[in-house]
């Protein structure tokens, strides 16, 4: 059994029983590219497997995520008689300390927001007004990096002041009630996109370029990196401060729709 065929059958099986299996299938495809898709699964040795697991950098939590994905593949292969052994190391390295997110100060957040109008030239793909609205939504509603980018116009109900986040991490959905400040931010952005001729049809993306195409994650992350450097927010720590860290904060600006809006604690956007 070739590795490519084994992975294809394993992923199909997992998805057939109801798992989305996106991250795991990505890991398995990367492993396949590393050792070769036509390599017989029974011929894959421990050296090649360990080389893939270790990668080029220090051991991270993702090492264990890769190990778990490969463990599942080899259990499946052994059960089907494609091989009689697993090349995975018997002992796993100790998991590194949990990643500590960066907490932006109000002064840093103010610099980031002010910098959206000056950090880039006009020919840049992501408009300042769009970048600013995304940053405020991520910070104010505690969204993960990919979540605002997946929003459609139907997900953003400005009449009811509710944003629906669908099928996100752990394949769950949630609805977020917005206070007046975030509602104003999204309303102003929506008015701007309407004035530039963007569609407000339900399935259309909410955050777009001028062309109407959905904002891509790598474009957003590159824009934020340029913005962060432009306003002088840098640290020596690896990966930080990240765009994703905007969702980490202490006081809450939003709460679930089951809670009354009158119970909102200190508005976090009033000083920004």
Q: Categorize the per-residue pLDDT at 118 as very low, low, confident or very high, splitting at 50, 70 and 90.
A: confident
How confident is the model over 4-37, as pLDDT tens digits? 999 999 999 999 998 889 899 999 999 999 999 9
CB-CB contact of 193 with 107 (8 Å): no
Closest CA to 35 of 59, 52, 23, 22: 52
Pairing of strands 156-157, 255-256: unpaired
Closest CA to 140 of 170, 194, 191, 176: 176
How confident is the model over 135-170, as pLDDT tens digits? 999 999 989 999 999 999 999 999 999 999 987 766
Closest CA to 78 of 145, 160, 6, 173: 6
What angle is formed at CA 80 by the lines to CA 75 and CA 81, rounded to 5 degrees?
100
- Cβ-defined contacts of 29-38 (< 8 Å, 24+): 31/66, 31/69, 31/70, 32/3, 32/4, 32/7, 35/3, 36/3, 37/2, 37/3, 37/4, 38/2, 38/3, 38/4
Check whether 3 has a pLDDT greater than 80: yes
pLDDT number for residue 264:
34
Mean pLDDT of 199-217: 91
Q: How far is CA 270 from CA 63, 185, 267, in A?
A: 41, 12, 6
Mean residue pLDDT of the chain comes to 86
- Total-model pTM: 0.66
Q: Categorize the per-residue pLDDT at 254 as very low, low, confident or very high, splitting at 50, 70 and 90.
A: very low
168 half-sphere exposure, CB direction, 13 A CA radius: 15
How confident is the model over 43-83, as pLDDT tens digits? 999 999 999 999 988 888 899 999 999 999 999 999 999 99
User: Which residues, other chains included, contact 67 with Cβ-Cβ below 8 Å and sequence gap of 6+?
Assistant: 53, 88, 92
Q: Categorize the per-residue pLDDT at 223 as very low, low, confident or very high, splitting at 50, 70 and 90.
A: very high
Of 29-33, 228-232, 250-254, least confident by mean pLDDT is 250-254
Q: Which uninterrupted H or E stretch holds 157? A: strand 156-157
pLDDT number for residue 165:
93
pLDDT number for residue 263:
32
Helix (H, G, I), strand (E, B) or coil at 180: helix
């Amino acid at each position: 059994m070739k590795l490519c065929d084994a992975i294809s059958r394993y992923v199909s099986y997992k998805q057939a029983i109801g798992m989305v299996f996106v991250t795991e299938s990505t890991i398995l495809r990367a492993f396949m590219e590393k050792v070769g898709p036509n390599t017989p699964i029974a011929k894959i040795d421990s050296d090649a497997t360990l080389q893939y697991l270790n990668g080029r950098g220090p051991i991270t939590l993702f090492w264990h995520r890769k190990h778990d994905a490969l463990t599942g593949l080899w259990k499946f292969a052994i059960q089907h008689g494609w091989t009689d052994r697993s090349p995975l190391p018997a002992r796993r390295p100790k998991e590194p300390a949990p990643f500590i997110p960066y907490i932006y100060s109000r002064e840093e957040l103010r610099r980031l927001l002010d910098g959206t109008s000056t950090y880039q030239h006009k020919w840049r793909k992501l408009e300042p007004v769009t970048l600013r609205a995304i940053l405020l939504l991520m910070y104010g509603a505690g969204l993960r990096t990919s979540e605002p980018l997946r929003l459609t116009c139907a997900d953003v109900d400005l009449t009811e002041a509710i944003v629906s986040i669908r099928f996100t991490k752990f394949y769950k959905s949630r609805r977020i009630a917005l206070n007046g400040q975030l509602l104003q931010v999204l309303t102003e952005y929506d008015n701007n996109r309407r004035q530039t001729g963007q569609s407000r049809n339900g399935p259309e993306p909410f955050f777009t370029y001028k062309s109407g195409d959905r904002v891509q994650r790598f474009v957003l992350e590159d824009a934020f990196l340029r913005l962060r450097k432009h306003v002088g927010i840098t640290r020596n720590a690896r990966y930080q401060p990240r765009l994703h860290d905007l969702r980490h904060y202490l006081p809450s600006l939003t709460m679930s729709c089951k809670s009354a809006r009158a119970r909102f604690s200190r508005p976090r956007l009033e000083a920004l």
